Structure 1
């Protein structure tokens, strides 16, 4: 899964995977008497925190009587789809850095629904057992041990762009290292293998990510700010979203999560051994009634998960 796209890839929606089309299968809660449209199409880029919160909101909205479709897309098609009105909602926009290009490109066709998490960061990360590597500046001395490789994720990801175009030139890593791109899943496989054998490895990573609960990791200090600062995670809707979904838009603006809440949700939806993220999201909601109360306010009454 992963992360952080800024590459402006082709933005068509052909060939996307409809993960869930729940027409005619509303949850136990009947539709409210509000003015919201009852069908909502949520874009999903299969990154860990996006999978977690999208399944969470899918469960909530089904219980509230919405007909929810989750459409899996790549980064550029997600923003283009919302801007074109083909997709109603996207829950994982990183600002001010990672998705800045997309926001600037589509600003006039996208409605901001607020920030729900304020502690997201992009990182270069090593296992804790690499005791002599604590700053990005320490990497050149270990270039041979690391095979001259920084293990990355998707080529079009914003994390890839920031690492390649900002951090590596800033710290003079281009002479000794190549940024190897593949996918978030492949990066995690490589990290897992290296840790099992206690071999040196450096990966591009980000917080929030379930890897931090699975392994003992160290984010390298970044005194020159090459990986960017702390970012917020935002939800966005298509133009006119608040008019068509006044109640849902209010819930989106009420929505916030702290580190502990997001980590526990990810553990149940995208953590090791998870096979049913939707079931994990419902379990988390059942365990966190106060989250529902502060997010949905009076509309949380009667929900059961």
Structure 2
């Protein structure tokens, strides 16, 4: 199984963006945001496939509304900093209150939360379905030898990685954490499940893993993971600068199934996010108009 990764943006490139302005899709450089016409908007996108749905759909919608919309890709921590400094206008993948708790606390008061894309997204640890005796995080220490004392997690420093390490402390688990990109983690899980080998790893919805792998999430009696709402953060002046964008992001919402269907089209059919966005907007005019309050 192969998921499409997104390129990370380095601190160096971020500093260049701050000094020079973000690149348009054609490679040209925008003028400083201080000189923006009010019809420009920069959308922050982190390296997770599910985040492409609100990013590319909103880009397509706003361009049809006359905006010059640019998607700026970066890792989560860089995007929080960029949003707090006003170097992007919106960040469309804020997981609150659990997964990105550290970032939300660090940048509290530096931007607005203006919309919720979907609620109650389950996040935690998963094991193969064939492991009938593993149903709770509390079972992990008892059967530590089966897992070789290893939990597989996503990118080091991400909100999910931080929560995984806190969970190990709270449950007093004698486990180590192996970090990798999300595609690499899923590939490892797929291989081990195919070989009928035990594995415990980060899992969440929306994601195609629950449609493509025979897995189950295990219980978290201490509620370390909880469930999150996925929200949109925006600069404080977005409503004045870009009223249509403010209205759109205030009203956009999805179901988990809708996002996972989008992801399957990317993964299995080789569809690009921009292509899917155009198709979706063409076929959902009434819903788009409702989001725009037309």
TM-score (norm 2): 0.84
Confirm whether residue 277 of structure 1 aligns to residue 273 of structure 2. Answer: yes
Give yes or no for contact 2:152–2:200 (8 Å, CA) kept in 1. Answer: yes
For residue 257 of structure 1, what is the aligned residue in structure 2?
254
Residue from 230, 235, 244 that aligns with 1:247:
244
Confirm whether residue 207 of structure 1 aligns to residue 211 of structure 2. Answer: no
Cα deviations across residues 249-291 of structure 1 (Å, max 9, x unaligned)? 011111121222222233334x345352221233333444443
Q: CA 1:267–1:65 in structure 2 vs 1: closer, same or farther (change >3 Å)?
A: farther
For residue 63 of structure 1, what is the aligned residue in structure 2?
64
SS at 1:281 equivalent: helix
Confirm whether residue 152 of structure 1 aligns to residue 175 of structure 2. Answer: no
The Cα of 1:222 is off from its aligned counterpart by 1.1
Q: CA 1:108–1:266 in structure 2 vs 1: closer, same or farther (change >3 Å)?
A: same
Separation of aligned partners in 2, 1:199 and 1:76: 34
Number of equivalences: 275
Confirm whether residue 195 of structure 1 aligns to residue 196 of structure 2. Answer: no
Give yes or no for contact 2:120–2:229 (8 Å, CA) kept in 1. Answer: yes
SS at 2:147 equivalent: coil
SS at 1:109 equivalent: coil
Give yes or no for contact 2:205–2:256 (8 Å, CA) kept in 1. Answer: no
Confirm whether residue 132 of structure 1 aligns to residue 133 of structure 2. Answer: yes
Confirm whether residue 169 of structure 1 aligns to residue 169 of structure 2. Answer: yes
TM-score (norm 1): 0.81
Unaligned runs of 5+ in 2: 5-9, 29-36
Cα deviations across residues 161-206 of structure 1 (Å, max 9, x unaligned)? 11111x2122221x2x211112212111101211222221110122
Shifted more, 96-105 versus 200-209: the winner is 96-105
The Cα of 1:96 is off from its aligned counterpart by 1.2
Shifted more, 152-161 versus 130-139: the winner is 130-139
Give yes or no for contact 1:135–1:221 (8 Å, CA) kept in 2. Answer: yes
Separation of aligned partners in 1, 2:43 and 2:268: 25
SS at 2:117 equivalent: strand
Pairing of 1:1-305 with structure 2 (within 5 A): 13-14=14-15, 21=25, 37-165=38-166, 167-173=167-173, 175=174, 177-227=175-225, 229-269=226-266, 271-298=267-294
Separation of aligned partners in 1, 2:129 and 2:268: 20
Q: CA 1:139–1:41 in structure 2 vs 1: closer, same or farther (change >3 Å)?
A: same
Q: CA RMSD in A?
A: 2.6
SS at 1:108 equivalent: coil
Give yes or no for contact 1:251–1:295 (8 Å, CA) kept in 2. Answer: yes
Separation of aligned partners in 2, 1:236 and 1:171: 32
Q: CA 1:15–1:191 in structure 2 vs 1: closer, same or farther (change >3 Å)?
A: farther
